[in-house]
């Protein structure tokens, strides 16, 4: 089984939703650098204080901060059987740093048409308590504004507002997209295509599990 997995793709591709479900089924931790950073911001940790301005503007947080945070997370015992990285690496420098921290067996590239991305991000809601992700159009909570899992209040991320979304897409094109070629050259890249906005997340979950060598 390929259990050291990274998920690449533009913001709004559905990386988090997919990674979280694959993590439940495969029994390996889902590590989202965005979630870890948002937690550091909520706790007003030194890392969060340095990262917040970049995040709200839709810019990438400097490599050395994110790499240090990820190195600590990957050193925890639950990562010994594998991991699913969501939102890391996002630059070539991060990809090279990751190579020195852990081996990667599989790089999933989530390919999503641009119109779907913009629609998804503008209707996305996140739980303020547990970080669960909803979408008012495609994945609504049972009760409006309230998290199904923990009852927390749902909110729109600062960086899901139109101006920050534009910045995030630019950052993705300039800094993260080149990683597709980097992992293709290493012969561990698998493209997974979302065809329509109505497609349930399970379709991608099955594709990722199959690429990992797990029968769905």
Instruction: Summarize as ranges the residues that interact with ligand AMP (CB under 6 A).
Output: 11, 33-34, 37, 54-55, 58-61, 66, 87-88, 90, 94, 159, 168
Q: Known catalytic residue: 124?
A: yes
CB of 179 to ligand AMP, least distance (A): 11
Judge whether 154 and 146 are in contact, CB under 8 Å.
yes
Cis peptide before 94 (omega within 30 of 0): no
In the complex with ligand AMP, which residue's Cβ is closer, 30 or 90? 90
In the complex with ligand AMP, which residue's Cβ is closer, 159 or 189? 159
Catalytic residue among 4, 21, 73, 168: 168
Catalytic residue among 2, 71, 157, 167: 157
In the complex with ligand AMP, which residue's Cβ is closer, 143 or 149? 149
Q: Known catalytic residue: 52?
A: no
- Token reading at 116: 């779907």
Beta bridge partners of 127: 154
Judge whether 94 and 88 are in contact, CB under 8 Å.
yes
Nearest residue to ligand AMP, scored by beta-carbon proximity: 34
Phi, psi of 25 (to 5 degrees): -75, -45
For residues 129 and 72, what is the distance between their CA atoms, to the nearest angstrom?
23
For residues 173 and 9, what is the distance between their CA atoms, to the nearest angstrom?
10
CB of 62 to ligand AMP, least distance (A): 7
Cα separation values, 31 from 18, 78, 79, 87, 207, Å: 12, 11, 9, 8, 19
Q: Known catalytic residue: 15?
A: yes
CB of 4 to ligand AMP, least distance (A): 17
In the complex with ligand AMP, which residue's Cβ is closer, 120 or 207? 120
3-class SS of residue 173: helix
For residues 67 and 64, what is the distance between their CA atoms, to the nearest angstrom?
5
CB of 141 to ligand AMP, least distance (A): 19
Catalytic residue numbers? 15, 90, 124, 157, 168
């Amino acid at each position: 089984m390929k259990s050291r997995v990274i998920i690449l793709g533009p913001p709004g591709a559905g990386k988090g939703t997919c990674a979280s479900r694959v993590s439940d089924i495969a029994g390996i931790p889902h590590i989202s650098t965005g979630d870890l950073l948002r937690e550091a911001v909520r706790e007003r940790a030194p890392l969060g204080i340095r990262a917040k301005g970049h995040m709200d503007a839709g810019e990438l947080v400097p490599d050395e901060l994110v790499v240090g945070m990820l190195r600590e997370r990957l050193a925890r015992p639950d990562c010994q059987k594998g991991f699913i990285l969501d939102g890391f690496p996002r630059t070539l420098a991060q990809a090279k740093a990751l190579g020195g921290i852990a081996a990667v067996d599989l790089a999933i590239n989530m390919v999503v048409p641009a119109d779907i991305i913009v629609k998804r991000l503008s209707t996305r809601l996140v739980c303020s308590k547990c970080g669960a992700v909803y979408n008012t159009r495609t994945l609504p909570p049972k009760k409006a504004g309230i998290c199904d899992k923990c009852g927390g209040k749902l909110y729109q991320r600062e960086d899901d507002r139109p101006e920050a979304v534009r910045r995030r897409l630019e950052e993705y094109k300039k800094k993260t997209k080149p990683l597709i070629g980097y992992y293709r050259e290493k012969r561990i890249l698998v493209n997974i295509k979302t065809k329509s906005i109505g497609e349930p997340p399970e379709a991608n979950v099955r594709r990722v599990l199959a690429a990992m060598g797990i029968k769905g």
